[in-house]
Amino acid sequence: MANLLSKRFPLSSIPDLSGRVAVVTGGSAGLGKYIAMGLALANAKVLIAAAHDELGDQAAEEINNAEGKHGCAQFLPVDLGCLSEVKSLADRINKEERLDLCFWNAGIGVAPYGLTKDGLGNHFQVNHLSHFYLTDRLLPLLRKTAQREDVKRGTVRIVSTSSENHRMARSDVKFESLEEVNGDGDPNRLYSRSKLMNILFTKELVRKVLPSEDQQKGAEQAYGPLGTLLRGTAALLFKSADVGAESSLWAGTAPEVSQGGKDSEFQGAYLTEPRGKVGTETDQAKDEELARKLWTLSEKTLSDKGYPVDM
């Protein structure tokens, strides 16, 4: 039913992305792979940041074997449960001359609790903290790209993958201590809480890092440093991976997102499908104080681990 009713954004609708550079975490399989393929077919250079296994090489090979796409995809292995590897990944990406699109898609699903190499809860670090840190490390390059004369306003974007499962996060979440987010728990609750984190982080990124329209001065600040959007994965049980990826690709590439004064409508918005209705997330996911607490906790955790941030 969802396949029939959902709005569509086929790969043929993606505008030409020649000369643009995109990074897709979790781009070796599932939704991430289709996102990477769609970007490459639109002529972007795609950096596939995914786990250390054969799937990354296979995905890059498959994309590069597509007609006329030889060499446009590169596999960058990374363990998002290891902050030193996340830093190394960012250092590698920062060697690019530009960075136009970030798709934060990788994550642990409804899986058992475990500790990462940094001693943090796996859902907390992989689904949220490592992407928080990666965003911080890549912001200077994103800003530099947005200021290029050949880059259109609003086309440098970050798209984060959340889930309708954020609705199942506990109502008493406070994000006031590492102990709260780092402890054991029911796998579904851990996953749901991490998806809530994705929404809150993206909204706070808009409030804290991206200036509002009336604060922007000069062409170099026409859209802040970048556009930030959030893609939800509603009703994925009824969608194939390629259809599920369409909302991410729409959020990241559709010209209409940044045309006709829609910047404020979609900036930091939670979307479950292309051209979807905004504001459908829970009241908890709209809680600005909760978002600020998560941001503060994330900064402190990274600093305590020896990875201070500048955002």
Question: Measured over all CA atoms, what is the biggest interatomic distance in the chain, rounded to whole angstroms?
Answer: 52
Residues known to be catalytic? 162, 191, 195
Residue 72 sits at φ, ψ, to 5 deg, of -85, -15
The answer to whether residues 252 and 260 touch, using CB atoms and an 8 Å cutoff, is: no
What's the CA gap between 136 and 309, in Å, rounded? Answer: 6
Residue 82 sits at φ, ψ, to 5 deg, of -140, 105
If one counts every other C-beta atom within 10 angstroms of the C-beta of residue 138, the result is: 21
Which residues, at least 6 apart from 13, have a Cβ–Cβ distance to it below 8 Å? Answer: 250, 254
Q: How far is CA 36 from CA 19, 104, 216, 226, in A?
A: 15, 12, 32, 20
How much is the CA Rg of the chain, to the nearest whole Å? 18
If one counts every other C-beta atom within 10 angstroms of the C-beta of residue 3, the result is: 11
- DSSP-assigned letters across all residues of 225-261: S-EEEEE--TTGGGS-HHHHHHHHHHHHH-GGGGSTT
